[in-house]
């Protein structure tokens, strides 16, 4: 967005606070955001954001101060998000699925000046409210008076009190100012924070709308949590004035509630992880699918993990009028969509070019993608290497982790540690994460190859393939399979299925069937958790015990 001119005439990106004020002037009575039975117009949203930003400033929050939000997705969280961006405070979403020690790590690692807490989640502070306040941190109750957490009455203020005063004139943040710290899910040690600037936030919003073609008449369903980097998708209406619908409902992603919400609010588009798509399709197949009105739904974006071609064929059969769009994005690129596989690309893949469905698409207009060797030199088209990115959406590094930042940033480029190749048409194919590649008997096995095969089996809902220590092979290929609803996969049958479709060295040496794979807040399978669990409990693997069910 570099070179755009803001309302004041200064060169530079138009930031989120200015975009909000613009829609409050242009379309004051249009609905900006909904959550179940509640909604705010653009004018109401702008007024509430201004009042809350002023209230936080009056309580002592200054530009550059970190402000944590520990709550489930709701209208107040959305207002608070924008208030931080307007004030110039650093917004820190805290994952409600973290353990107490992780929550406290985030609060202290970002040195939060203020933490807003939903009553039902107060136990995640680990009983350290008094210690946090002694450290100079302000504690604000999002839902005062809730009997589930009576000690919230001792907090410094309530959310309602902060929002009760008039909106004040506040200095506008600058493009280079820090806007967000987005913490990872903490699957390897404590969560680490990714630093995102105000300019990167603006770039993500405009670039995403540009890549998807969303317009002012669209209605966007925010399926992903407001606690992490994909929360920026909830702000897309700042660019085009469309209405955004927050999930509400029982909390987390509920397929039946999603389908009901699409019909109730005439939702036109959303982004889902593949696991969410499977749940929606299962609900349509086995639930009360016939009662849902999906006539408004025209765009299904998916990402966060690969979607097997078998799943895409299933989506196309169930929702033939819905455009499919795949995106590849990473937190370190501020959650921005690096590449897009368009609906036209999907039609090519579904219509006779199946290999295209395994691509994550071509780079967006503001993104340079390079596939490089270990020394950072770009490799020839068709050759595999590490994917590197350059864009105005790139993050500033990791918070208080200089060594990790040095391994991430290479001048203007970000090292993704993803392995991929680019074909002659410019389509990027991700082979796997560099650190997930399995070396078994001296042969390289990319888990995604095995996963794509197993995902074709009708009894398999999802699968994670990892490497496990093996005395003879060094590493052995292990597949952990999540059963499809109503199915009972047979490990021996799954191995036969693999042998018919894979090279011998790629066939798993063990298949385990589980009710549910471990997942993070995005729905992505937590492979580090699986790897750590197998390392801690090697007796679960057949070469460490007498029984050998599921081995070849």
With a cut of 90, say whether residue 8 has pLDDT above it. no
- Reply yes or no on whether the pLDDT at 6 is more than 50: no
Please give the residue that has the higher pLDDT: either 308 or 295.
295
Structurally, at CATH architecture level, domain 437-544 sits in: 2-Layer Sandwich (3.30)
Distance between CA atoms of 356 and 348, rounded to whole angstroms? 7
Tokens found for residue 222: 């925010």
Span 309-332, average pLDDT: 93
- Rounded Cα–Cα distance for residues 538 and 530 (Å): 12
Find the mean pLDDT for residues 532-551: 72
**Mean pLDDT, range 237-259, rounded to an integer:** 89
Angle at 339 (CA atoms; ends 392, 465), nearest 5 degrees: 120
Helix (H, G, I), strand (E, B) or coil at 417: strand
Q: Residue 1 — very low, low, confident or very high, per pLDDT cuts 50/70/90? A: very low
User: What is the reported pLDDT for 434?
Assistant: 60
Instruction: Assign domain 201-434 one CATH number from 3.40.50.12780, 3.30.1180.20, 2.40.50.140, 3.40.50.300.
Output: 3.40.50.12780
Interval 382-425: pLDDT, tens: 999 999 999 999 999 999 999 999 999 999 999 998 889 999 99
The pLDDT assigned to 363 comes to 96
Q: Give the residue from 437, 407, 443, 404 showing the smallest Cα distance to 420.
A: 437
Q: Where are the alpha helices (DSSP H) in 123-236?
A: 129-134, 159-162, 198-212
Which candidate, 414, 427, 510, places its Cα nearest to that of 463? 510
CA dihedral 520, 523, 524, 530 (to 10 degrees): 60
Angle between helix 309-318 and helix 343-350 axes, rounded to 10 deg: 100
The two tokens of residue 235 are 């702000």
pLDDT at 149 over 60: no
Q: Can you give the pLDDT at residue 4?
A: 38
Average pLDDT for residues 260-282, to the nearest whole number? 91
Residue 278's pLDDT is what?
85
Q: At which residue do the structure tokens 């936030």 appear?
A: 201
User: At a CB cut-off of 8 Å and minimum separation 6, what does 97 contact?
Assistant: 520, 521
Closest-CA residue to 510 (of 454, 456, 459, 433): 454
- What is the CATH number that goes with domain 16-197? 3.40.50.980
Asked if 279 and 462 touch (Cβ cutoff 8 Å), the reply is: no
CA distance 312 to 355: 12
- Check whether 7 has a pLDDT greater than 80: no
Q: pLDDT confidence of 24, banded at 50, 70, 90?
A: very high
Could you tell me which residue, 288 or 448, shows the higher pLDDT?
448
237 with 231: CB under 8 angstroms? no
Asked whether the beta carbons of 278 and 458 are under 8 A apart, the reply is no
Q: Are the C-beta atoms of 395 and 365 separated by less than 8 Å?
A: no
At a CB cut-off of 8 Å and minimum separation 6, what does 416 contact? 330, 332, 386, 387, 388, 389
pLDDT of residue 226: 92
Spans of all domains in the chain? 16-197, 201-434, 437-544
CB count, 10 Å around CB of 12?
Answer: 18
* Same topology between domain 201-434 and domain 437-544: no
């Amino acid at each position: 967005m570099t070179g755009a001119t803001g309302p004041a005439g200064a060169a530079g990106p138009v930031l989120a606070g200015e975009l909000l004020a613009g829609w409050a002037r242009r379309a004051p009575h249009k609905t900006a955001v909904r959550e179940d039975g509640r909604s705010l117009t653009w004018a109401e949203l702008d007024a509430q954001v201004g009042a809350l930003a002023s209230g936080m400033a009056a309580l002592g929050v200054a530009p550059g101060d970190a402000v944590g939000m520990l709550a489930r997705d709701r209208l107040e969280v959305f207002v608070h998000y924008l208030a931080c961006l307007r004030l110039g405070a650093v917004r820190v979403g805290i994952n409600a699925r973290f353990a107490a020690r992780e929550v406290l790590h985030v609060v202290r690692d970002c040195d939060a000046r203020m933490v807003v807490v939903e009553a039902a989640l107060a136990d995640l502070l680990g009983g350290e409210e008094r210690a946090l306040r002694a450290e100079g941190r302000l504690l604000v109750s999002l839902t005062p008076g809730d009997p589930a957490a009576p000690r919230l009455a001792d907090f410094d203020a309530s959310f309602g009190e902060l929002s009760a005063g008039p909106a004040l004139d506040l200095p506008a943040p600058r493009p280079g100012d820090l806007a967000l710290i987005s913490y990872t899910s903490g699957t390897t040690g404590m969560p680490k924070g990714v630093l995102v600037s105000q300019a990167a936030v603006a770039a993500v919003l405009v670039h995403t709308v540009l890549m998807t073609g969303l317009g002012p008449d669209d209605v966007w369903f925010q399926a992903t949590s407001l606690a992490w980097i994909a929360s920026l998708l909830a702000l897309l209406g700042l660019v085009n004035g469309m209405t955004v619908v927050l999930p509400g409902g029982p909390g987390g992603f509920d397929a039946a509630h999603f389908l009901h919400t699409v019909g109730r609010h005439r939702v036109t588009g959303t982004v889902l992880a593949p696991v969410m798509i499977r749940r929606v399709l299962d609900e349509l197949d086995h639930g009360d699918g016939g009662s849902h009105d999906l006539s408004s739904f025209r765009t299904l974006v998916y990402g966060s993990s690969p979607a097997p071609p078998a799943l895409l064929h299933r989506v196309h059969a169930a929702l033939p009028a819905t455009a499919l769009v795949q995106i590849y994005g990473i937190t370190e690129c501020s959650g921005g969509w690096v590449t897009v596989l368009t609906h036209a690309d999907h039609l090519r893949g579904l219509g006779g070019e199946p290999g295209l469905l395994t691509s994550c698409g071509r780079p967006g207009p503001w993104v340079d993608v390079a596939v490089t060797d270990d020394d950072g030199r770009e490799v020839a088209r068709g050759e595999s290497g590490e994917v590197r990115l350059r864009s105005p959406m790139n993050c500033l590094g990791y918070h208080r982790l200089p060594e990790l930042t040095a391994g991430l940033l290479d001048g203007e480029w970000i090292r993704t540690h993803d392995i991929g190749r680019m074909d002659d048409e410019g389509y990027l194919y991700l082979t796997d994460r560099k650190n997930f590649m399995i070396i078994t008997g001296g042969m390289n096995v990319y888990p995604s190859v095995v996963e794509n095969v197993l995902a074709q089996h009708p009894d398999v809902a999802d699968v994670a393939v990892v490497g496990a220590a093996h005395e003879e092979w060094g590493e052995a290929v292990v597949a952990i399979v999540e059963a499809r609803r109503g199915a009972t996969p047979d490990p021996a049958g799954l191995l036969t299925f693999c042998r018919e479709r894979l090279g011998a060295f790629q066939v798993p040496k063990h298949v385990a069937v589980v009710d549910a794979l471990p997942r993070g807040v995005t729905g992505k399978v937590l492979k580090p958790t699986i790897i750590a669990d197998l390392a801690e409990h090697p007796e679960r693997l057949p070469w460490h015990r007498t029984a050998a069910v599921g081995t070849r």
